[in-house]
A and B are shown apart, each in its own frame.
Chain A
Amino acid sequence: MIRLEKRPQPSRIWTTITPLLAVLLTMLFGGIMFGLIGTPPLETIRTIFWDPLFHPQFAGFSRPQLLVKAGPLILIAIGLSIGFRAGIWNIGAEGQYIIGAICGAAAGLALYPMDSALILPLMILCGALGGWAWAMIPALLKVRFGTNEILVSLMLVYVAENILASVSSGLLRNPEGMGFPGSRNLSQWSSSQNLELVPNTGMHLGVVAAFIAVIAAYVLLTRHIEGFNIRLSGAAPRAARFAGVSPARTILFCLGLAGALAGAAGLFEVTGPAGQISIDFGSGYGFTAIIVAFLGRLHPVGILLAGLLMALTYIGGELAQLMLNVPAASIQLFQGMLLFFLLGVDVLTNYRVRIARREVA
């Protein structure tokens, strides 16, 4: 019989090994799954993990995509992870991402066609504020009425999606767009465009912001008292109150920060890769970022790596669909497996497995 024995303290080694183990298990069982549905397992795995970076023909196109996809995932996941560390479960980053994009885009479009270098910074600010304000709704409701932030933030995603549909065919619709839904193309207006900073790398301002966020979050969590208080609130809420940490302040700070980062991510996306506010602007980054945050063990550096890995499976997954006709659902299943195994092997960090004769508990 297999028994789990709680470790006196979390194992450092296992904390680092478990994500790698989860990736390997995903490859193994994903391979079996691909084999069962009749696609060549090794080739599929290679197409997902290897080809986007090193395929002689496709890599030139897909390599820059890695940073383009990873940027918003990392930026959003960093914000979420800080809340998760404090035990505040913001599930609605997708909504904050959409509202941030709408607010930032609206601020820019209000000034169209003015020509100024200040417009993009203003839009970034408004994007972050929009996301922040959207996240303040669950935050204030939680502080004031004790509502559950998981439910409120999640439901606000659907509200945000409807607002997005409404503004793309109404308020923000391109007046010169011949009636088609969708705003002006912000990536083609010199005042608002968020272009690649280095050609063919995918490195745009949002990616830079993501890297800065990684470093700032690392410093916050390891060196600053505010980060210490956040970790303390999550690890032992009563001890946090004893230490003098205000739960309300922590909630407002964590949700606000996550909202602002998600909103900024939305703005970078709408002014760059996406280009315009349109009905299908919401791409699920806000949800995938939750996976990224956990895959990275809520640690800034881990999230950086996890964001890149997740982006890789996205690009590789598309590539596999294109080249091997792998069904899209199986790619999603594959990504789901990754999270499943990660959470599954997580027990090993806090427990050691003992195989022993059955003993009365």
Chain B
Amino acid sequence: MSDILLRLSGLTKAYPGVIANDDISFDIREGEIHALLGENGAGKSTLVKMIYGLVKPDRGEMTLQGKAYAPASPGQAREAGVAMVFQHFSLFDALDVAENVALGMEHPPRRRDLARRIRDVSEAYGLPLDPHRIVGTLSAGERQRVEIIRCLLQKPKLLIMDEPTSVLTPQEVEILFQTLRKLKTEGTAILYISHKLEEIRALCDHATILRLGKMVDTCTPSETTARAMAEMMIGSSFAAPSARRTTPGDVLLRVDNLTMPAPGAFGTPLRGIGFELRAGEVLGLGGVAGNGQDEVLAALSGERLSDTGTIWVKGADLSRQGPVARRAAGLLTAPEERLGHAAAPDMSLTENAVLTAGRRQRLIAKGFIKWSRAERFARDVIDRFDVRTPGPDVAARALSGGNLQKFVIGREVAQAPDILVVNQPTWGVDAAAAAAIRQALLDLAAQGAAILVISQDLDELMEVAQRFGALNEGRLSAVKPVDDLSLEEIGLMMGGAHDMEVAHADP
């Protein structure tokens, strides 16, 4: 490898009550793909925000190509040749691709020139994208391309990518990797943030591992096992969930030709979804984000009512019944969005326990809430699922994402449902907590509950599910046993590999 592009020495950043980064030093070389690895809360985001000029370090310094580098704003960082693709896209749904790209540029060129340049870059790097498409109609993978192209137009020396593959199909991941490898051969350095260890092993040259704000280790990913890296990240070994392959029992949930219009301009209509869910089994629904996951959950939770005869719980038609009746019948759900959907941010954990458990756990008598019982139930959930919080009086928004997720899933699991539907159960949760959540789901299945896991994390679905189906544009693929599936097949089921061919990649 060649010269050092960016050197970090002794970077330290403290926030009230927590040292987010403590004396971090490492080098990124020109033309290398450098992985930044760590659990949630390890300090990865703070570190890249300092590199990108969003946060100013308390101590320490950076040099870029030998010159002192202290960006006061993302604009200065971009000028110096540092670009970043965020995990959450900052795009306007109602504008087209070229307009969105122009909005992110300091000095946008004329529209026609810009469209041409977008086409050039997208062809040069094998990222097919039409500059005139409206962003609201793009898949998550295509949206990410908009962000990447926006960065590439600035010809960056260092490209920072924050968890780029969390929204992609396996095929889309492959396209992305080809693009990144091409950039690397041109000398662009890439700082790649992820917790998907196999990806890092396949792609990255070096890895720096953070834990609780400190740099704990470095390694060469291709020569290190995923398990070893995971243990470096967590600092101890952890038990992988053990799936118990139970024999499925009676059909508890039957979804029959579920068809619903899209809930809003950018929602997804559901088209003839049908499956059966048996006692003791875990069914995994995969698919790229925005292909009907949220809509399926809303139809099952009762937030949106579907036509008569589409949703059957233990032989009873609950299609026209709301969430309260469905919970009473034993069908519980946990949506993806923790704050504002699964939980009310400004309400305490006790109040959030009442939110779904009120009737089932008899926290309500004659319309009056038994607050002492509610608090006891909240405490139970906190203890059983190791939710780190000072107590049940704390507002939900004060919890970290992972801890709130444990609470939200725990709240449903603790109610001993007959059928549990979860969407993205471990999204943004650290590895140890994710393992605990998956174990809880498997234990619940072992006790005879039927579980539907909707997730974009294929590894997760392969780990917990016995059968797998994929959502694509509101349709459900055939549902197949996980054991007979290859990665290729899964990709085809997810099908939504929009613009799959690597368009016009250089020979």
Interface residues, chain A, CB within 8 Å of chain B?
Answer: 8-10, 223-226, 228, 231-232, 235-236, 238-244, 246, 359-361
Contact = CB atoms under 8 A, between A and B. Distances in A.
Contacts of B371: 223
Given A8-B395, A244-B302, A235 B56 contact: no
A361 B75 CA distance: 12
Given A8-B395, A360-B55, A235 B346 contact: yes
Contact of A239 (B54, B355, B358, B368): B355
Interface stretch (B34-42, B320-328, B378-386, B470-478): B320-328
A8 B397 contact: yes
A224 B369 contact: yes
B303 A241 contact: yes
B367 A236 contact: no
Given A225-B367, A226-B367, A359-B56, A235 B395 contact: no
Interface centre among A10, A223, A231, A243 (most CB of B within 10 A): A243
A356 B358 CA distance: 45
B341 A238 contact: yes
Nearest to A7: B398
B335 interface: yes
Nearest 8 Cβ contacts at the A-B interface: A244-B323, A9-B395, A236-B344, A244-B324, A8-B398, A239-B344, A238-B341, A235-B344
A243 B398 contact: no
B136 interface: no
Contacts of B341: 236, 238-239, 242
Interface residues of B, number: 38
Contacts of A9: 346, 394-395, 397-398
Given A223-B369, A360-B54, A239 B343 contact: yes
Contacts of A228: 351, 354, 369
Contacts of A359: 56
A256 to B, nearest CB: 18
Contact of B303 (A10, A224, A235, A242): A242
A10 B355 CA distance: 20
B448 interface: no
B291 to A, nearest CB: 20
A74 B327 CA distance: 39
B342 A360 contact: no
A10 B322 contact: no
Interface in B316-353: 322-324, 327, 333, 335, 337, 340-347, 351
Contacts of A243: 323, 355-356, 358
10 contacts: A9-B394, A10-B346, A10-B395, A225-B368, A235-B345, A238-B337, A239-B340, A243-B358, A246-B322, A360-B56
Contacts of B356: 242-243
A169 to B, nearest CB: 47
Contact of A242 (B56, B72, B342, B346): B342
Contacts, number: 81
Contacts of B342: 239, 242
B364 interface: yes
Contacts of A231: 347
The binding surface of chain A is classed by DSSP as: helix
B53 interface: yes
A244 B351 CA distance: 15
B322 A224 contact: no
Contacts of A223: 368-369, 371
B17 to A, nearest CB: 10
Nearest to A219: B368
Contacts of A360: 53-56, 72-73
A264 to B, nearest CB: 23
Nearest to A239: B344
B301 interface: yes
Contact of B355 (A226, A232, A361): A232
A314 B323 CA distance: 48
A225 B302 contact: no
Contacts of A241: 303, 323
A240 B343 CA distance: 9
Contacts of A238: 337, 340-341
Given A239-B343, A243-B358, 17 more contacts: A224-B368, A225-B368, A228-B351, A231-B347, A232-B351, A236-B341, A236-B343, A238-B340, A242-B335, A242-B355, A243-B323, A244-B302, A244-B324, A244-B327, A246-B322, A360-B53, A360-B72
A236 B338 CA distance: 11
Contacts of A236: 340-341, 343-347
Contacts of B351: 228, 232
Contacts of A226: 367
A244 B344 contact: no
A225 B364 contact: yes
Interface string B219-250: 00000000000000000000000000000000
A8 B323 CA distance: 30
A223 B358 CA distance: 13
A241 B323 CA distance: 8
A173 B80 CA distance: 82
Nearest to B374: A228
Nearest to B72: A360
Contacts of B397: 8-9
Nearest to A9: B395
Nearest to A10: B346
A361 B55 CA distance: 7
Interface in B129-146: none
Nearest to B324: A244
Interface string B354-379: 11101000001001110100000000
Nearest to A354: B16
Contact of B367 (A224, A232, A244, A361): A224
Contacts of B324: 244
Contacts of B398: 8-9
B327 to A, nearest CB: 7
A232 B395 contact: no
A168 B302 CA distance: 51
A230 to B, nearest CB: 12
A240 B342 CA distance: 9
Interface string B95-126: 00000000000000000000000000000000
